[in-house]
Amino acid sequence: MSDYEERYEERLVSADAAGSEEQVIEAALRPKQLDDFVGQDRVREQLSLVLHSALRRGRTPDHVLLSGGPGLGKTTLAMIIAAELEQPLRISSGPAIERAGDLAAILSTLSEGEVLFLDEIHRMARPAEEMLYMAMEDFRVDVVVGKGPGATAIPLDIAPFTLVGATTRAGMLPGPLRDRFGFVAHMDFYGPAELEVIIKRSARLLDVRIADDAAAEVAGRSRGTPRIANRLLRRVRDFAEVRTGGEVTLESAREALSLYEVDERGLDRLDRAVLNALLRKFGGGPVGLSTLAVSVGEEPETVEVVAEPFLVRQGLLARTPRGRIATPAAWAHLGLPVPPTAPLAGTLFEVGDDPGETG
């Protein structure tokens, strides 16, 4: 996960809630087997066939690439793959591998059948990426010794392994790297019903009493993302323990989510700040990304990576060659009348429509 994507997660928790305790709880909530993994039915079925077929043949499974937004379960699936294969899991990330030697050090210590998980694989340094090509295909790397004309490449055999790569930006992966994965899966956002199942399961593990309608309320504000659903559950649990005696009811859930500035459609403070600036300061647009970011006091990449994808998916914002524009649904969400001169005035968008992502 990139720094900008992590910033969204940070906005959902208070400063004193972040830390090692939260990470331990988050790890405890992860399912350990494919059968316990909720949602992504097609991916689960396909992955199950890949793994069980390899086990029957006594071979190392093909390398696996998982793409999709942050918090959808890519790391969890990597852990499940290792568990299903009964093999150890080695975890690293693309940004941590800055040189080919860093990757060679990891690959040379892998045991046969071990699963190597590389998060944000698209951010790996190019020399390491080129070394990975040979390692994935031939289970061999060439280690260069010396410099200049006297440099020598020493071939080094490595144990057969399974690489699980995860990326939030599949389009940034070079074609030669993508082609070396035997199984490629895209993780979709979750529906409210699936998130409700996840929230109830997590509530049982956390020993939290939550009403069915409260679970549905939290699910509806979780942006289609299990990680966010679990974090919001912990926040409403905290509110219920302090304010309402422990049980999470519909009323206490709504009060807690209002306190943490998560509205009924899952928009948080930054999302609403972007919409407010776009509507009140720029008349609905079009406005450039940099100008919009300055108006809300954020970096352009933060607005582009953290806020915009969800606003576009909700049909509240459109990205066009001329700049960002608000849809009529955005005016309605903030309770403002649509000016006749506003872009897309007279056009109706339903929740989930994609009004365009060009530009």
H-only helix segments in 29-174: 41-57, 74-85, 100-107, 126-138
According to the annotation, is 224 in a ligand binding site?
Answer: no
Residue 66, phi then psi, degrees to nearest 5: -115, 125
3-state secondary structure of 319: strand
Is 168 a catalytic site residue?
yes
Is 74 a catalytic site residue?
yes
User: What residue has token string 């972007």?
Assistant: 274
According to the annotation, is 254 in a ligand binding site?
Answer: no
According to the annotation, is 8 in a ligand binding site?
Answer: no
According to the annotation, is 272 in a ligand binding site?
Answer: no
Given the residues 44, 60, 62, 74, select the one marked as catalytic.
74
According to the annotation, is 60 in a ligand binding site?
Answer: no
State CA 259 to chain mean position distance: 25
According to the annotation, is 313 in a ligand binding site?
Answer: no
Is 227 a catalytic site residue?
yes
Evaluate whether 211 touches 246 at the Cβ level (below 8 Å): no
According to the annotation, is 71 in a ligand binding site?
Answer: yes
Is 320 a catalytic site residue?
no
> CA of 218: how far to CAs of 6, 116, 211, in Å?
21, 34, 11
According to the annotation, is 32 in a ligand binding site?
Answer: no
Evaluate whether 305 touches 4 at the Cβ level (below 8 Å): yes
Distance from C-alpha of 351 to C-alpha of 143, rounded to nearest angstrom: 53
Distance from C-alpha of 346 to C-alpha of 338, rounded to nearest angstrom: 9
Residue 358 structure tokens: 């060009």
According to the annotation, is 223 in a ligand binding site?
Answer: no
3-state helix, strand and coil shares in percent for the chain, rounded to the nearest 5: 50, 15, 35
According to the annotation, is 74 in a ligand binding site?
Answer: yes
According to the annotation, is 139 in a ligand binding site?
Answer: yes
According to the annotation, is 238 in a ligand binding site?
Answer: no
Given the residues 60, 167, 168, 327, select the one marked as catalytic.
168
Distance from C-alpha of 307 to C-alpha of 285, rounded to nearest angstrom: 16
Given the residues 44, 62, 75, 90, select the one marked as catalytic.
75
Given the residues 62, 119, 268, 271, select the one marked as catalytic.
119
Is 75 a catalytic site residue?
yes
Given the residues 123, 227, 234, 237, select the one marked as catalytic.
227
Evaluate whether 323 touches 274 at the Cβ level (below 8 Å): no
According to the annotation, is 76 in a ligand binding site?
Answer: yes
Measured N-to-C along each axis, helices 269-276 and 3-11 cross at an angle, to the nearest 10 degrees, of 100
According to the annotation, is 319 in a ligand binding site?
Answer: yes
Q: Any idea of the CA torsion for 80, 7, 190, 118, to the nearest 10 degrees? A: -30
Three-point CA angle 344, 348, 354, nearest 5°? 80
Binding site as annotated, residues for Mg(2+)? 75
Binding site as annotated, residues for DNA? 319, 324
Catalytic residue ranges: 74-75, 119, 168, 227
Binding site as annotated, residues? 29-30, 71, 74-76, 137-139, 180, 190, 227, 319, 324
